[in-house]
Structure 1
Amino acid sequence: MNQAIADFSNSFTLNDASVLSLMDKEHGWQNKYRRIMLMGKELPAFDETLKREESQVAGCESQVWLVASWHQDQLLLAASSDAKIVKGLIAIVLAAFNGKSHRQVLEFDMPSYLDQLGLMDQLSPSRGNGIKAIINRILLLAEQGPDRS
């Protein structure tokens, strides 16, 4: 287990229910956008040593780094970006998957979650593709399972 990933993961306190609750309290897309930016500010510090070429997520307009480690059957995630809004989108995605079991990650209904948030209708096509690339990377890690990371 990578300690930098574990530290990030354990410091990240949002979960999918809290994200849905926070976003539900906001009215209008401008307020929701502001909330997304605030969630991005809540991401723990991302260890600079994790910003390697192999941790970059292809398909994102901005630079995005995503690393994962399994501890027992728990997926530990750490991610960051050079763009404020993307950091918020990362927080939304990590809230769904971080600290979850292999089975929970694979069974999570991401399309429903994103639909409840109303995100995909509001994001530019390039941002939408970026969030999908992040999700797909996490799902690939989950499909490989705890024994492969």
Structure 2
Amino acid sequence: MSLPETARQALADFAHCPGWEQRARLLMQWGERLAPLREDERCEENRVHGCESSVWLVAGHDGERLSFRAGSDARLLRGLLALLLVRVNGLSAKELAEVDVADWFAQLGLARQLSPSRSNGLNAVLTRIRELA
């Protein structure tokens, strides 16, 4: 499966980071790229359960291509969400089912920095994305 252009850009950006400090800074910059959710979208119906921090997910589609928007109050988590979304936005439901989140974050060099609770939260987001697909 080919990567969307923004996902290839993320890989290139993170490949140039020698250490965690630079990755963390870049992660927060990616989080700032998330379009803010409207107040009415930050509702219980859009909330992702299984995350320690508050996370909201809104789904849309263009034909069979899926698109998602997400938000969180946690800065690092917003960055992780942004990176997850660049990996899954524009995919079909079938392609989405094949995405390996752990592998994606390993490719970005972020796997070691994901605490078990953050990994569980990202998996909860991916599960919700697949449900909405």
Regarding TM over 0.5, the answer is: yes
- Please report how far the alpha carbon of residue 42 of structure 1 lies from its aligned counterpart in structure 2 after TM superposition: 1.1
Instruction: Tell me if 1:84 matches 2:81.
Output: no
Whichever residue aligns with residue 70 of structure 2, its letter is: A
CA distance in 2, matches of 1:50, 1:141: 15
Structure 1-normalised TM-score?
0.79
CA distance in 1, matches of 2:66, 2:16: 29
Residue of structure 2 equivalent to 1:59? 50
CA distance in 2, matches of 1:117, 1:64: 22
Residue of structure 1 equivalent to 2:65? 74
Residue of structure 2 equivalent to 1:22? 13
Residues 123 and 110 from structure 1, CA distance in 2 versus in 1: closer, same or farther, beyond 3 angstroms?
closer
Instruction: Tell me if 1:140 matches 2:127.
Output: no
Structure 2-normalised TM-score?
0.88
Q: How many residues align?
A: 130
Deviations 1:5-63 (A, max 9, x none): xxxxxxxx972211111111111011101100010011112122111101111111111
Instruction: Tell me if 1:123 matches 2:98.
Output: no
CA distance in 2, matches of 1:122, 1:57: 22
Whichever residue aligns with residue 103 of structure 1, its letter is: K
1:31 to 22, 28, 49: 22
Residues 69 and 86 from structure 1, CA distance in 2 versus in 1: closer, same or farther, beyond 3 angstroms?
same
- Please report how far the alpha carbon of residue 111 of structure 1 lies from its aligned counterpart in structure 2 after TM superposition: 3.0
Aligned-pair Cα RMSD in Å: 1.8
